[in-house]
Chains A and B, each alone.
Chain A
Amino acid sequence: MSIWSLIIGMALITFAIRYSLFAFPHLGFPLIVRQGLHYVPGAVLAAIVLPGMFMPDGQHWQLSLDNAYLLAGVACILIAALTRHLLATIGGGLLMFFLLRWALGQLPI
């Protein structure tokens, strides 16, 4: 199998999925689909975020106080809920995250 044919095949499949609904601009969705789609961003992003906090390595639970991903993630959620401000959430969360990693001796310095 040539790597190039693999690349072309993967490219076609990936594009077909991403273009699947953009390809039909005249298609209108029934109400139940439109209602369901409202939940896509919240559901997908939460499904990326929570494992990222609880399993930073993608495989093992890390329910401990030296898990900076978990602690800073909780701080992010609090900042976001209180301020509803994206930049404040990102800035505050990153600051918290790197301070924790530094304090816990988890940075490669």
Chain B
Amino acid sequence: MSRSREFFQAMRDMLPLLVGAMPFGIIYGTLAASAGWSAAQAMGMSLLVFAGSAQFIALSLLSGGAGMAVLLLTTLVVNLRHALYSATLQPFVRHLPARWRLPLAFWLTDEAFAVVQQRYAEPDSAAYKHWYFFGAALAMYLNWQLCTLIGVLFGQTVPNLAAWGLDFAMLATFIGVVVPMLRNWPQVAAALLAGAVALVCHGLPYKLGLLAAAVSGIAIGLYLERRQGLQVVEEVV
């Protein structure tokens, strides 16, 4: 596919995830404004940090009177899962110059990762898959800024957005991405165990349950794969 086709295909593929993220962006903007942040500060956080969970947690910790060290440490822990995404996608972006790798890393979110890793896992040897990455990442970024702005400006007047359950669009997309990936027993076991650990550890703060779940899933998948001597084809990410 050409550069522009990769780019716009990614934007289309991101659509359900954009819809799913909308309530969160708007609610974040609303909360920041009602916490007394200026519009520039609320937008500055979305523009520069661009990490939904960390932004929410920072707002709530700040209102609880937490200090800078706690806030920064929390940001580190909450976003640690992104190091796994960075490692997973590194083999696919290592040939790119830094002017590509820098912005693509800055834009690496859960949503972009889900869609982009799927594109990289497709066996075709298209030369412009990084344009797909670019399109997906930029769509997520622009959507997040727009939603933050709507929340800051009109947050108080938007009717109960959370009640619509638009966040289900994210679950449906992630299911549509994950299930076809489960082609062998180690993959199935990794997903099942990760899901179970996430449920059991849901009480842990700062997304630590998610991190524990990911690590357990990877460990069991790796263990079963090695025990079976199973050859997983390299391009199946």
Interface residues of A (CB under 8 A from B): 1, 3-11, 13-15, 17-27, 29, 32-56, 58-59, 68-69, 72-73, 76-77, 80-81, 84-87, 89-90, 93-94, 97-98, 101, 106-108
Decide: A25 and B101 in contact? CB cutoff 8 A. yes
Decide: A35 and B199 in contact? CB cutoff 8 A. no
Decide: B171 and A69 in contact? CB cutoff 8 A. yes
Interface residues of B (CB under 8 A from A): 13, 16, 37, 41, 44-45, 48-51, 54, 58, 62, 67-68, 71-72, 75-76, 79-91, 93-96, 101-102, 104-106, 108, 110, 113-114, 117-118, 159-160, 163-165, 167-182, 186-187, 190-199, 202, 209-210, 213-214, 216-219, 221-222, 225-226, 232, 234, 236-237
How far apart sit A37 and B83, CA to CA, in the bound complex (Å)? Answer: 11
Decide: B105 and A18 in contact? CB cutoff 8 A. yes
A40-B195 contact given A76-B172, A97-B172, A101-B165, CB 8 Å threshold: no
A7-B163 contact given A17-B80, A44-B214, A89-B172, CB 8 Å threshold: no
Contacts of B88 in A (CB 8 A): 37, 40-41
Contacts of A73 in B (CB 8 A): 171-172, 175
Contacts of B168 in A (CB 8 A): 68-69, 72, 93-94, 97
